[in-house]
Structure 1
Amino acid sequence: MTLPTKPLALTVNGQPVGPLDVPEGLMMQDFLHEYLNLTGARMGCGQGICHACTIMVEEADGAVREMRTCITGAHWFAGKKVVTIEGHAQHDAQGGLVALSSVQQAFIEHFAFQCGYCTPGFVTGATVLIDQLKRAPIPRAELEKTVTEALDKHICRCTGYVRYHTAVRDLILNTPGLLRG
């Protein structure tokens, strides 16, 4: 039995992809893994609860938001711009690493992960938070609550929450323009 397919075209990490014939019910995580060999979005729970599978979707105004790939079909992303964990760092034309993102660097500096399985989701969530704060800075008094709310939906089985939280808080404190007052 052959599964029905539809063409899918989108932009992944700044590169156009497709159109490719993709099974209609294929989840985005499976598309990334099986068609593009991008395996950073991890299968954790398979139910959209743990957020290990999140990627960023760029909105028309340039803002980014998190999307869970284990519960969202690949065709939902048709025509959209997405960034996977593989697209956070800067690379040269040959694919060599130039620089980590500020979030990735903060996580390393704070030893903010243990096994690393959940880290792609936490990097994505923190990056989305930083983007939101660049667009709408918050009062300093709301920082702890804001970081907690942004990272709360991400599950770490090794219990690295304190270090993730500290890394994101310190990054925000040390990035001009994200806080007011």
Structure 2
Amino acid sequence: MPAARRQDVRASEARERLLAATLRCAARDGGGALSLQSIAEEASVSKALVLYHYQDKERLLATTIRWLTGRLLAREASALAQSTAGSVLEDFWRWLDEELQRGELRVLIELAQERGVETRRALEESALQRQQTAEQTVSRVFQLLDLSPRLPAAMIASSELAFRDGLVLWAWRQPDRSARVAFDVFWLSLLSLAR
């Protein structure tokens, strides 16, 4: 491998490690408590190295939001790929429960409090991508169940996303409660909007 290519690979790996450190810090301390110093310490590097790769905190957070969104949406898209009518809601719950345990969606939601221009742009892109993927997910659920929703998929997906985000925060604050019951009740009400 040429030296320039090795250097690109090492830089890419370093940036990925910094994103993972940002995720761990945010999951542990909360999105509002992030600092470049705490991220550097988590990654066992200097703050100067963080700045070398990301220039400032806002760029690091915007990149983290895009990175988390990509990871989340890839898992969501594959969650129902092998589903059948008999398994689709169980598969959906299994995916959501794994997301509740993983904590990345909670971090993404917490980062929505950031106010920088680049961060806001990343959050807007994330919201649009999440909406589009949720529309595909909701459409897939209804299709597999051989049901036709009486409302547009976009409207149902928006409701499902709001529920999902709320469930993530509720489950994090009350881990002893059963998020599955809330999921089942919510989806029963969504399915009542079908023909």
Q: Whose radius of gyration is greater, 1 or 2?
A: 2
TM-score calculated relative to the size of structure 1: 0.31
Q: Which has the higher helix share?
A: 2
TM-score calculated relative to the size of structure 2: 0.29
Q: Which has the higher strand share?
A: 1
